[in-house]
Amino acid sequence: MNAPTERSVVILDLRAGAVEVDRIEGSVLVIDGAGTAADHDELYQELLGSPLVAGVICLAVGDGAARDGVRIRPAPALGPVDRAATLWVSDEHGVHWRPADHLVRGVRPSAPSNLDQLIAALSEPVVFDAVVHTVNTLPYSTASVGLALERTSLHEAERRRVQEEAISLFTDPDAGGVSAPEPPRAEFRAAIGRFIESEETEPVLVAGGPLDRARTAANRAVGDAALELNRLDHPLAALAAQRPGSAAGAAVRQAFVSADAYHREAQRQLTHVNDRLLGQQTGDLSVAERGLRGPEQGSRRQARDEVRELVETWLRRYRSIGRLLPDLNAVKIEREPQGCLAALDTLTALAPRQQLPEFDLRPTPLGAALLSVLTGVLAAIGVLPWLFTPLLALAWFGSGLLLHARQPTDRGELGIRGALLPAALCWGGPALGSWAAVAILSPPPLPLAFAPTVLAWLLLLAVVASSWWLSARRWRTEVGLAKLSDQVEQIDRLVHRVARADWRPSTRRALFADGLGQAVLGLTAIQAALADRTEDLFTPLPGKEIALAEEGEPEPPPDRDVYEEVREVVLTDLVDLTLAALRPCWAGIEAGRPVDPAEYTRTCARLLESYHEHVRRHGLLPAPPFAFNGDRAHRDTLATKLWAASRVTEALSRTAGDEMTQLCHHRHLGVVSALAAGAGLVRFASTAVRELTRESSGPGREVAWTGDSELAGSMRFVPLRQGVFE
């Protein structure tokens, strides 16, 4: 089967006067007079002599009203040549004729005429080639044309009925109400995140800079403090020779100091970033003071590509300029550099505490005194009180002195001097005092005198063993090193987030926001221009009104339900038209100069007129010149539905002996009737018909597939008798 070709067919109408042929290429359809073609032989010679011209068909149009004999003067250059053919048409409407019948039926005049439909069919390159090949097999490469065509053109009323809703849906964000399809806003918001963001793994801190040093010092100090607190958290830690209380206090203090230094440096750097983003910075940090790497370099070309990709992709998804514009405006505002005040407020709330909590030794002074009194009483009523009670008091004093002296402070530990008073008053002194009181009272001896003494010493050992461990665990919780570590980590994440999201891409974001602003400006102008055409997108141009039937009434539209399919095709074309009208914007973004909105309006108006003329001449099935080649789904759906409701199978099944519309006057049938048995046949159809009819070709002939043509059917080429040529 024939595959569609990219080659075009150029139409030259010599009836309107002389034409230039120097730069013509492809296939050429020349509309000439049947009696004047020979006068233009030099033009045909020039066309056939050009290597740019693939083939020439001369459409020799005669005077159907002439009553004298048929005389055809074909151009000599078109004589038996492989790349040329001559088609004779003596009446633009023709007659219904079957070669085996003696009678014919008249054809009611219509617009477009059968001659116009023949020209439209020959405008398809594959049909052009098939006709040249077929007519070349006939005598003198000349023939009379018969047509059996089916056209799926939309009626003017069908197009006009859909135009208002299509343009309203495309330009008005509120059109359609609740029944309008919801645009994919969630997907749009998710996809926008990949524009103008730095890589997650990209380093943002200046290596060895003040912020990097402060961050490293804070993390190291927090790690050291955690290690020292682990050593402190042991029942016998107070007895260790390494004095863990002193090391823990100093390490914890250093952790808070380093974290605070990191916090202050982060505040300084982010304040600088905020001022720069808001344009309020009067001076700049010196090279040695810079903690964050500077903004990435951006280019207007990159901004152009990113904005273009964003607009083109999502306008095709939204299928509504009215609904996309607010979302694009929101993205533009978000992408403009806006400072980082919110991050600074968050950073302020992350400030580490300035003072360490006191090491609250347990038992408390009152608790220690009561326990000391209790053990003193027990020792006094036990065995050998004069020996064990002083020893017990001394043990209480020594334990209190050691525990108090090893208490961690922000300077290290409390020390012996600070521990003497509480150890004497609350630990050792109460035991001696209670012994003296018992001695004065002189209670009778107990039967088991050793039991109170043993109990007193066990109680002392229990207090000493649990005191440090419980106090250290309590203090470790109050220190909140895990919270401090989390604060340092949050500061680090905040700095990196601001650097990656706001600071590093700030130059690119500014260019992107500027480019998006230009696109929004252009889309707004195009939206207004399209909204003005709500009622006349498909209005016939002067002189091209709806064809009238013989009764003088407009031809009624066919009874078929294709409203939604037509609307979707028109919406697709409006998307492509908008993107075509927006093309000046891309150059404006790259140059940094916004395009005047009036230019968008003029471009849109020109494209609308081109679209109107395209639809008038070719219909909606062939895509307009500005169409995006990748979006064909809606057109294919419409074409399939239109062809399914047509009689295309019947038109494609015609043979040379069947009735067709022969494009000649009934008086001229004598020129062709005797040679009808040698007629050639060409069948052609849109590729959308391929699935509707598996086998629609006659013996030895294929169907020429024409892509998006609205015409399909069979053409009969009957040779002319020899006596009509001059």
The predicted-structure confidence for 571-617, as pLDDT tens digits, reads as follows: 999 999 999 999 999 999 999 899 999 999 999 999 999 998 888 88
Q: Is residue 596 part of a domain?
A: yes
Q: Is 377 exposed, middle or buried (CB count within 10 Å of its CB: 0-12, 13-18, 19+)?
A: buried
**Contact status, residue 83 vs residue 7, Cβ threshold 8 Å:** no
**Distance (Å, rounded) from C-alpha 100 to C-alpha 108?**
22
pLDDT digits (tens, 9 = 90+) for 444-484: 555 556 777 777 777 777 777 767 666 667 777 777 778 88
* pLDDT reported for residue 71: 72
Distances 410 to 225, 463, 535, 538, 641 between C-alpha atoms, Å:
12, 26, 83, 86, 86
Give yes or no: residues 591 and 619 share one domain.
Answer: yes
Q: Is residue 379 part of a domain?
A: yes
Q: Is 428 contained in some domain? A: yes
User: Do 622 and 655 lie in a common domain?
Assistant: no
Write the DSSP assignment of 85-109 as a string of letters. EEEEES-SS-EEE-TT-S--EE---
Residue 699 has pLDDT above 80, yes or no: no
Asked if residue 237 has pLDDT above 70, the reply is: no
Number of structural domains found in the chain: 3
Sign of the Cα pseudo-torsion (619, 625, 627, 628, in order): positive
Specify the pLDDT at position 5.
Answer: 45
Residue of 714, 545, 648, 548 lying closest to 108 (CA atoms) = 548
Evaluate the CA torsion angle 315, 317, 320, 324 in order and state its sign.
negative
**Residue-wise pLDDT tens digits, 173-201:** 887 654 567 778 888 877 776 665 656 67
Rounded to 10°, the helix 244-277/341-349 angle is 170
Residues in the chain: 726
Segments forming the whole domain that contains residue 660:
9-152+647-724
d(CA 570, CA 617): 16
Enter the DSSP assignment of 72: B
**Residue 4 or residue 157, greater confidence:** 157
Q: CA distances (Å), 352 to each of 213, 227, 442, 480, 481, in order?
A: 18, 20, 59, 10, 10
**Co-location of 16 and 142 in the same domain:** yes
Of the two residues 156 and 107, the one the predictor is more confident about is 107
Percent of the chain with pLDDT over 90: 25
C-alpha triplet 713, 677, 118: angle, nearest 5°: 30
Residue 440: predicted pLDDT: 58
Residue 455 domain-assigned?
yes
Query: Do 652 and 577 reside in the same domain of the chain?
Result: no
Pairing type for strands 412-413 and 26-33 reads unpaired
14 and 148 fall within a common domain: yes
pLDDT per residue over 643-694, tens digit each? 888 888 889 989 988 999 999 888 888 888 767 788 899 999 988 888 776 6
The better pLDDT of the pair 143, 545 is held by 143
pLDDT single digits (tens) 605-628: 999 999 988 888 888 888 898 988
**Last residue within a domain, chosen from 641, 672, 692:** 641
Alpha carbons 710 and 686: distance in angstroms, whole number: 7
- Do residues 580 and 669 both lie within one domain? no
Tell me the β-bridge partners of 145: 717
With both helix axes pointing from N to C terminus, report the angle between 563-581 and 506-531 in degrees, rounded to the nearest 10.
130
Would you say residue 539 has pLDDT above 70? Answer: no
Residues 6+ apart with CB under 8 A from 305: none
Q: Exposed, middle or buried, 344 (CB in 10 Å: 0-12/13-18/19+)?
A: middle
Share of the chain above pLDDT 70, in %: 76
- Which is nearest to 501 in space by CA: 277, 299, 326? 277
Quick one: residue 517, left, alpha or beta (phi over 0 = left, psi -120 to 50 = alpha)?
alpha
- In 3D space, the residue among 369, 489, 390, 370 whose CA is nearest the CA of residue 439 turns out to be 390
Average of per-residue pLDDT across 355-368:
71
Q: Are residues 610 and 709 in the same domain?
A: no
**Does 233 have pLDDT greater than 70?**
no
Asked whether residue 324 is assigned to any structural domain, the reply reads no
Which residue in the block uniquely carries the two structure tokens 């998710």? Answer: 190
Decide which of 641, 656, 679 is a domain's last residue: 641
Question: Strand 711-719 vs strand 95-97: parallel, antiparallel, or unpaired?
Answer: unpaired
Question: Which two three-digit tokens encode residue 431?
Answer: 């035991």
- Name which of 3, 63, 112 is nearest 618 in CA terms: 112
Residue 300 resides in a domain: no
Instruction: Using the Cα atoms of residue 518, residue 521, residue 524 and residue 530 in order, give the sign of their dihedral.
Output: negative
| 205 bridge partner residues | 292
Structure tokens at 74: 């074909």
Chain segment 485-509, per-residue pLDDT in tens:
898 999 999 998 888 888 888 888 8
Same domain, 14 and 145: yes
**How far is residue 468 from each of residues 194, 234, 357, 397, 430, measured CA to CA in Å?**
56, 8, 16, 15, 21
Same domain (yes/no): 549, 660: no
* 374-385 average pLDDT score: 68
Distance of CA 506 to the CA centre of its chain: 21
Beta bridge partners of 718: 144
Q: Are 708 and 118 in contact (CB under 8 A)?
A: no
**Do both 126 and 57 map to the same domain?**
yes
Least confident among 94-108, 212-226, 235-249 = 235-249
Compute how many other C-beta atoms are within 10 angstroms of the C-beta atom of residue 714.
28
Mean of per-residue pLDDT scores for the chain: 80
Higher pLDDT, 641 or 479: 641
Q: Are residue 447 and residue 523 in the same domain, yes or no? A: no
Six-digit token pair at 60?
């020799």
677 in any annotated domain: yes
Chosen domain end from 622, 641, 660? 641
User: What's the token pair of residue 581?
Assistant: 């009208």
Q: d(Cα 592, Cα 597) in Å, to the nearest integer? A: 15
Indicate whether 57 belongs to any domain. yes
Whether 165 shows a pLDDT value over 50: the answer reads: yes
User: How confident is the model at residue 115, as a pLDDT?
Assistant: 93
What integer is the mean pLDDT of 421-441? 64
Phi/psi zone of residue 281: left (φ > 0), alpha (ψ -120 to 50 degrees), beta?
beta
Predicted pLDDT at 386:
67
For residues 524 and 615, state if they share a domain: yes
Q: Are 406 and 444 in contact (CB under 8 A)?
A: no
